[in-house]
Structure 1
Amino acid sequence: MALMRMATAWERFVLKDLPTVGRYARVELTPPGPGELVGVVKGVGGLVKDTLTFRWATVTVKEATVNAIVLAEIAGWFFIGECIGKGSIIGYKV
């Protein structure tokens, strides 16, 4: 009886979402095209220009807060990825 309920729950909650997951995976997991790489290069060029012209010193407090939160999120995911890759929180297994 419990196995039947588990199968019904699996069908109801997991299998109904598989086509949606497949659609998103097909779009999100494809390698970037040449058009996206051009945008990345332009973005990095603009970032270097803004750094050299000290535009970063004239941002509002709201923009600086948003930038700091985005930076903290990127750093957090980087360190979480490192911990997952290492297989532990402290040190590498040599």
Structure 2
Amino acid sequence: MAAIPGLINSTIAAARPKFAIFMKYAKVELAPPKLSELPQIKAGIGKLLSSAKSGAWRDLTVKQATLNTLVGAEVLFWFYIGECIGKRHLVGYDV
């Protein structure tokens, strides 16, 4: 029992630098887009639509296609988690 406070203090001291790095990246990566970034977003969506119409998606490498599929799956999973949180149930709505 006497070693527990020392163990807790050493754990906190070891985690502090890693938490600082996490916060550094979280402030940048998890921030919503700024108004100055909206033209870049619009251009990216236009480029995506034009490449879909022209069939440029057929020229992707397997690595790029796998990465795109994983990103799409991540978006769908986060949407589903948000829906579950919003309705407060895994299946159906509480009417």
TM (norm. structure 2) is 0.65
Give the unaligned 5+ runs of structure 2: none
How far residue 60 of structure 1 moved from its aligned partner, in angstroms, is 3.3
Letter in 1 for 2:69: A
How far residue 79 of structure 1 moved from its aligned partner, in angstroms, is 0.5
Give the unaligned 5+ runs of structure 1: none
TM (norm. structure 1) is 0.65
Q: How far apart, in 2, do the equivalents of 1:29 and 1:66 lie?
A: 20
Q: Name 1:45's counterpart in structure 2.
A: 46
Q: How far apart, in 1, do the equivalents of 2:92 and 2:17 lie?
A: 41
Alignment of 1:58-69 (within 5 A): 58-62=58-62, 63-69=64-70
Instruction: Pick closer, same or farther for the CA change 1:87–1:48 going to 2, 3 Å.
Output: same
Q: State the Cα deviation string for residues 4-53 of structure 1 (Å, max 9, x = none).
A: 89xx79x8699999987876676566553222111110001101110111
How many residue pairs align between the two structures? 93
Alignment of 1:2-81 (within 5 A): 31-56=32-57, 58-62=58-62, 63-81=64-82
- After TM superposition, which residue ranges in structure 1, 4 or more long, deviate above 4 angstroms? 11-31
Q: How far apart, in 2, do the equivalents of 1:71 and 1:83 lie?
A: 19
Letter in 2 for 1:60: L
Q: How far apart, in 2, do the equivalents of 1:24 and 1:66 lie?
A: 21
**Percentage of pairs with the same residue:** 36
Instruction: Pick closer, same or farther for the CA change 1:72–1:16 going to 2, 3 Å.
Output: closer
Q: C-alpha root-mean-square deviation of aligned residues, in Å?
A: 2.9
